Amino acid sequence: MSESVNYTRPEREPDESATEERAYSSLRPQFFIPIASPVWARTLLVINLVVFVAMIVYGVLVYDDWDGTTNSLVLTTFGMKVNNLVASGQTWRLFTAMFLHIGVLHLLSNLYALHMLGPLVEGYYGHARFLAIYLVGGLTGSVASYAFSPASSAGASGAIFALIGATTVYFLRYRDNFGARGRAIVQNMFLIIAINLVFGLSVAFIDNWGHMGGLFGGAVLAWALLPRYRPPQTVRLGPQPIEEEPRTVQEIGWVVLGLAGLWFAVQAVTNARLTPF
């Protein structure tokens, strides 16, 4: 005697359906982007704070000035960007100026921005790329300020704008992967850029060239160093970190090329300043 068998899936309660769907999902490959811990972001926070305290102590000991971070002599001693000194050969000031801050509000605003943006950029780009973007972007801001702004300046703002550029580039490139969150981040970055551009053009003591130079340098280098993702060579069931295309040599080449370009730019600006008309 034969018996017919019905293979139609029986009706299930909603809770049963949801449970089964979760079970099926756990069996499918699920890729995620591994997030790096903000090692360098935190280190840079500490470095900026330590330098600020050192400036206060130096101002008190040498000049009996408790507000040494706004004292031009203290700032110059610690490495503020002063165009005529840079032109005379003290090009290291373009680097050291990135770690100096003029007053508490200047320090706190940049540390807050670094606290918010640093873990985001270092998380998605990784430790080495983050440090390269921060330092090279900050140097680009210093070089732009040296080229186009006669005023002495200091601060991590150029490096902070480099992080803004890197954040914008990353979430523009992978906006489809992050959905509404990615679009919101990009919109916020554009809003921050617009506000700072308007504010910088309307306030005399803001180093707008340093900001825009850092933004440009950070965005360009971030695009060159942008992680390129690919599915893992060995796919397994359940959550699995996605892999990156190995491009270490290329990335080092981009960083070296960027630094070389900045060096030639500094030489060109210095020669123009020293050459009589």
Q: Which residues are catalytic?
A: 157, 211
Q: What is the pLDDT of residues 148-178, one digit of tens each?
A: 999 999 999 999 999 999 999 999 999 888 8
Structural domain of 197: 31-271
**Mean pLDDT in the chain?**
88
Q: Rounding to the nearest 10 degrees, give the CA dihedral for residues 112, 117, 120, 121.
A: -140
Q: What is the pLDDT of residue 77?
A: 97
CA distance from start to end of the chain: 111
160 domain residue, yes or no? yes
Residue 150 falls inside a structural domain? yes
- Within a domain: 157: yes
**Structural domains in the chain (count):** 1
- The overall longest dimension of the chain from CA atoms, in Å, is 111
Question: Is 261 a domain residue?
Answer: yes
Domain contains 75: yes
Could you tell me the pTM of the whole model? 0.87
Distance between CA atoms of 91 and 82, rounded to whole angstroms? 10
Most confident of 14-23, 230-239, 252-261: 252-261
Kindly report, residue by residue over 203-236, the tens digit of the pLDDT: 778 899 999 999 999 999 999 999 998 877 776 7
Rounded Cα gap, residues 166 and 19, in angstroms: 40
The answer to whether residue 20 sits within a structural domain is no
**Assigned domain for 12 exists:** no
Domain of residue 170, CATH code: 1.20.1540.10
Q: Which of 86-100, 219-233, 257-271 has the lowest mean pLDDT?
A: 219-233
**89 belongs to a structural domain:** yes
Mean pLDDT, rounded, for 40-60: 98
156-194 burial, b if ≥16 CB within 10 A, otherwise e? bbbbbbbbbbbbbbbbbeeeeeeeeebeebbeebeebbe
